Amino acid sequence: MNNFIVESISSDLHISGVKCFNLALSLDCGQAFRWEEQSDGSFSGVAFGKHLNILQKGELLIFKNTSKEDFESLWLHYFALDTDYEEICKRISQDSYIAPAVEKFYGIRVLNQEPWETLVSFVISQQNNIKRIKLIINRLCTRYGVCIDGENYTFPDANTLSKLSVSDFEELGTGYRAKYLDRLAKGVASGEISLEKIKALSLEEARKELLKIYGVGEKVANCALLFGFEFYGAFPVDVWMKRVMKNYPNGLPECFSGVEGIAQQYLFHYQRTDVKE
DNA sequence: GTCCAGGCATGCA
DNA sequence: TGCATGCATGGA
């Protein structure tokens, strides 16, 4: 289970005894696009309008300049430290194809990101590569987010983006997705699309609602559901996962039930890094 | 130069 | 309902 210890040391927060957690893999496996590795091996990013620097040393996590309150109300859940990943990994590893993927990339966690940021990010992600997705999102935040501390920017909210034009989005390099982003921002800002309501629905109902959004298809909907709406049963299939699916001609194994999306993250990374054999 | 990337909307059968 | 096609951009 999660028997970690939380200690304040000067202005930092040290979390020790963290099992089944790999920070670098979790932040760099194509689910989040705003974390950058620093020269000391730590990662810096922004979520919930706050800048965070975090460093992992084995089973120790160091949250720089972080209060216990912020850890408990924000980061604990964001990094899924309230979920028993040891148990999940053990369970899905009953499947012989995923077992080496889980072993090789042990500690990848599905983050609990914010719905709006996740939905926008994955609309941008379509027919795009991870490096360029990060570049575009970085431009979006620098240009339209709020500067927190002189160098870090928040992810711009729907209200702010609803005031832009299609060509403003095009200038960010979003290409043909600009019109999708324009309509999405206006829809959420006007209340026509309610992400809170969608989050409260069942997986199937939530997916149905997301699919109504212009520019959101099966793949983007599933990514948003998994990474931003906490539906761990959502199972995104992209070009990489299509290759993986050849190994499951009869559908997904029973041991993935309820955490198909978490299993997917291991399979996706395994396939993408191409380290088999 | 060509191919590809965490796809989707559209038109047509 | 299912399939072919066009679509922006930049790195390999």
> What integer pLDDT is reported at residue A277 of this predicted model?
38
Give the type of residue at A242: K
Q: Is the dihedral of CA A115, A120, A122, A123 positive or negative?
A: positive
Closest nucleotide over all strands to A219 (CA to C1'): B7
Q: Which residues contact A97 (CB under 8 A, 6 or more apart)?
A: A247, A248
State whether the beta carbon of A126 lies below 7 angstroms from any atom of strand B.
yes
Closest nucleotide over all strands to A176 (CA to C1'): C8
> What integer pLDDT is reported at residue A3 of this predicted model?
87
Q: Which tokens is A87 given?
A: 């148990």
> What integer pLDDT is reported at residue A275 of this predicted model?
47
Residues of A with catalytic function: 219
Burial of A91 (0-12, 13-18, 19+ CB in 10 A): middle
Please report where in the chains the tokens 């989050």 appear, as a residue: A199
Residue A222 · residue A236 · CB < 8 Å: yes
**H helical segments located in A105-145:** 115-125, 130-144
Q: Which residues of chain A have pLDDT under 70?
A: 1, 274-277
> What integer pLDDT is reported at residue A276 of this predicted model?
45
Strands (E), chain A: 5-9, 12-16, 36-37, 43-47, 50-57, 60-63
> What integer pLDDT is reported at residue A1 of this predicted model?
65
CA of A33 to C1' of B12 (A): 38
3 state DSSP class of A26: helix
State whether the beta carbon of A273 lies below 7 angstroms from any atom of strand B.
no
CA of A59 to C1' of B1 (A): 50
Phi and psi, residue A200, nearest 5°: -85, -10
- Residues of A from 124 to 183 whose C-beta is within 7 A of strand C: which are they? 127-129, 131-132, 170, 173, 175-176
Residue A122 · residue A134 · CB < 8 Å: no
Cα angle for residues A10, A75, A213 (degrees, 5° grid): 150
Residues A190-213 as b/e (b if ≥16 CB within 10 A, e otherwise) read eeebebeebeeeebeebbebbeeb
